[in-house]
Amino acid sequence: MTKQEKVNFVINTLDKLYPQIPIPLDHKDPYTLLIAVLMSAQSTDVRVNQITPLLFERADNPYDMIKLSVEEIREIIKPVGLSPMKSKGIYGLSHILIDKHNGKVPQTYEELEALPAVGHKTAAVVLSQAFGIPAFPVDTHIHRLMYRWNLSNGKNVVQTEKDAKRLFPKELWNDLHLQIIWYGREYSPARGWNLEKDIITKTIGRKSVLDEYYKKQKKS
């Protein structure tokens, strides 16, 4: 299979598996998505979705958020982890949105990444999922799968994002990054991985990854 045939196989397989693509984090507008994504760092979407309703019941816009203290925010979001840093980020960015952006979430990487606790991946998720602007946020699932599929060298997420954007058509980025995340969770996890269920890796996987998998299977 050529590289292009592999890419087409990935796209077609994911389209069949995920014709409808749910967004993992519950939200109702760009602001609540931004807060949910910020909270998801080193946490799980399931945990974040349990906690955001408690926070958004108190404050679901920057004007209400700054009426809470950093300590109050921290107490509410404590179960998602890293709450001292995240609560300061939520409070700080809410102030900046009011002061500089009329309470609205900006729509550029530069403006988003200038906000406290907002990195490149968070900005990419917001641009893609809130505004439909083509972006390819790379999380651990995408990073792992792009390496397993021999579509990236796995050096770092920056390289993986470059490779994904180079290989996949721009108009598919917003759907594809979500499809790969869902596929990684269901069929190609880091732990408890069953290659027989993972049709994409089984078909186009990196030889060293497949060899390593079969070697482990023989031992067990």
pLDDT tens digits along 80-106 = 999 999 999 999 999 999 999 999 999
At residue 88, the 3 state secondary structure works out as helix
Instruction: Please indicate, yes or no, if residue 199 is contained in any of the structural domains.
Output: yes
* Domain endpoint, select from 103, 131, 159: 131
Residue whose tokens read 């470059």? 162
Q: How far apart are CA 102 and CA 121, in angstroms?
A: 24
Q: What is the pLDDT of residue 9?
A: 99
44-63 pLDDT, tens digit per residue, is 999 999 999 999 999 999 99
| Host domain of residue 201 | 3-20+137-219
Q: What is the pLDDT of residue 197?
A: 98
CB 171 within 8 A of CB 179: no
Residue whose tokens read 């490149």? 120
Token pair belonging to 70: 């950093």
Q: How far apart are CA 115 and CA 17, in angstroms?
A: 36
170 is annotated as an active-site residue: no
What is the total count of domains within the chain?
Answer: 2
Model confidence at 177, pLDDT cuts 50, 70, 90, reads: very high
Same domain, 39 and 110: yes
Tell me which of 26, 45, 139, 175 is the catalytic residue.
139
Helix axes 45-58, 30-39, angle to 10 degrees: 130
Tell me which of 6, 86, 121, 163 is the catalytic residue.
121
User: Computed over its alpha carbons, how large is the radius of gyration of the chain?
Assistant: 19
Task: Give the CATH number for residue 167.
Answer: 1.10.1670.10
139 is annotated as an active-site residue: yes
CB 118 within 8 A of CB 156: no
